[in-house]
Amino acid sequence: MTEFAQPRRIVRLTGKDALSFLQGLVSNDVLPLARGTGIVWTALLTPQGKYLADFFVVNTGADLLLDLPVSLADTVLKRLSLYRLRADVAMTPTDIAVTRGIGIPPPGALADPRHRDLGWRYYGNMTALPDVDWDAVRVRHLIPESGIELVPGESYLLESGFERLHGVDFRKGCYVGQEITARMKHKIELRKGLARVLVSQPVPVGTPILAGEKEVGTLYTQSGGLGLAHLRFDRTDQAMTAAGATVSLDGQL
């Protein structure tokens, strides 16, 4: 399938403070985009360090854009507007289309910054592309999706693989939720998080994973006998099931 798991909304950013404004709010370093064409994956967090939304900040060479999932776009734009105060920045809806693909990129396409096997993203109109099983790619490389493995108000970046996927920068300075994220990085051994599992048969997304009678995690996207799960790592050595399917650890962050 070539479609996104959920539609995208592209918003144009203008104003001399656009990047510095974002820099103080999001998890990744966006200031390198001031040097020219590029793309950064980042997240907006609650003050308690919990995930609100993830999105791309893009410099196409002609425009500075936010590439947002439609389901979270209003939340992101409202939150950014609350922080704007006197900053010289404006956010304007566009009708720009975004296409993603694997293989030789067209001129002007940008490599997905999360993982090389996620291919490229192109901002503008394109002809139809060959189908790609994006769920299989995500499961194989432990890549979470907003609204599925990434749950607003619940997920934490480091439990969701943002460091490995280049979605958080620990040298950029303060941003909303930074203190909790840094504490998890430097002072806490993660006891739960995103993991790849073997699944004997498909089950509904969101099915609890049990070890005996105790719930030890949740099973999400599945493809080809593999799945993405949020698990308690200290209990993965026990026999696990999910709605009658057997579940076993295949790899973890």
Q: Which residue ranges form the domains of the chain, and what is each CATH number?
A: 8-132 (3.30.1360.120), 140-252 (2.40.30.160)
DSSP conformational letter for 191:
-
Report whether 247 contacts 222 (CB < 8 A): no
Residue at token pair 């999706």: 145
Report pLDDT for 251: 62
Q: What is the pLDDT of residue 188?
A: 79
> The dihedral of CA 180, 195, 75, 80: what is its sign?
positive
> pLDDT at position 5, please?
62
- Confidence (pLDDT) at 3: 57
Whole-number pLDDT of residue 253:
47
Task: Say which residues have a Cβ less than 8 Å from residue 85's Cβ, sequence separation at least 6.
Answer: none
Residue from 239, 244, 49 nearest 160 by CA: 49
User: Which portions of the chain are predicted below pLDDT 70?
Assistant: 1-5, 251-253
* pLDDT score of 2: 46
- Asked if 177 contacts 158 with a C-beta cutoff of 8 angstroms, the reply is no
Q: 104: Cβ–Cβ under 8 A, 6 or more apart, which residues?
A: none
131: phi > 0 → left, psi -120 to 50 → alpha, else beta; which? beta
pLDDT in tens, 214-244: 999 999 999 999 999 999 998 888 899 999 9
